[in-house]
Amino acid sequence: MLYVVIGGSAGSFQTVTTILSELPKTFPHPMFLCLHRLKHIRSGFVEALRLKSKLTVHEPCDKEPIQPGQVYLAPANYHMYIERDNTIALSTEEPVNHSRPSIDITFVSAAKAYGTRCLGILLSGANKDGAFGLKTMKDEGGTVMVQSPDECQVKTMTAAAIKITDVDYIFQSSQIISYLQNLK
């Protein structure tokens, strides 16, 4: 089982919904979405992601066991960690990179827990959150990819990642989808 972790901020929502709409119901891996969002708006986001997804998308509770084929969306105003005992841990710690949830937190914890079994994908965004986490994932033996900055609505995030990490793939969203569809 792979741990597929996707991070994104400004301009990533459309890409994420497209990815979800193109994945089959039988997608065999757990997927974690850490997307920057308004901290005061708790409802509406997960419902919007569910609209076209064939996979079950939900906001996990703390210490929830991770299941294959489920999509876990970091809840508003919580950091989302991946724990070594195959569960999710939430936290209300201080924002990281002005963000809660922070993509770095989710990427790094996944990398530390599952190393080579991680696939990290960083999408469009307006700050550098996620860049360090993607580097850690690569250092720990995971596979890392970023959305092509040319395609990103805001390229700050992906450019920051490319600057510090020798990423495995720089893909257009159609290529990201294709890669995910072909995962065994």
Partner 1 sequence: MEDLTNITDEELRRIIQMVRTIDDVDLGQLQPVILRHRVWRFAMLQGFESASKLVEKLVTDRSLIHIFLQKISVPTTELFRDAEFWNELETIINEKLSIERFIKIWVPDICGDDELNSLLVILSRNNLLHKATIYATSPFQQVIDNSKESYIDPKKFETSEANFKRIHSDNTLLPYLERLEKNYKFSPALLDKVIFLKQCVSTDPPPDKGFNLILFRNRCLYYNPTTRRTALEKIGQSLMPGGYLALGFGENLDETDQQVLLTQASKTEKIYKKKQ
Burial (CB < 10 A; 0-12, 13-18, 19+), residue 21, is: middle
Contact flags string 113-152 toward partner 1, x per CB under 8 A = x------------------xx--x--xx------------
CA distances 25 to 34, 41, 130, Å, are 21, 28, 28
Q: Tokens 């850490």 appear where?
A: 34
Active site (annotated) includes residue 168: no
- Cβ-based neighbours of 60, under 8 Å, separated by 6 or more: 72, 73, 75, 80, 88, 90
Q: Quote the CA–CA distance of 99 and 29 in Å, as a whole number.
A: 26
32 binds partner 1 (CB under 8 A): no
Backbone angles phi, psi at 161, to 5 degrees: -70, -45
Among 5, 59, 70, 121, binds partner 1 (CB under 8 A): 59
User: Degrees (nearest 5) of the Cα angle 81, 134, 27?
Assistant: 70
47 binds partner 1 (CB under 8 A): no
Please say which residue, 42 or 52, places its beta carbon nearer to partner 1.
42
Q: How many residues bind partner 1 (CB under 8 A)?
A: 35
Contact flags string 63-102 toward partner 1, x per CB under 8 A = xx----------x-xx--xxxx----xxxxxx-xx----x
Active site (annotated) includes residue 91: no
166 binds partner 1 (CB under 8 A): no
Name the site residues for partner 1 (rule: CB under 8 A).
40, 42, 59-64, 75, 77-78, 81-84, 89-94, 96-97, 102, 104-105, 108-109, 112-113, 132-133, 136, 139-140
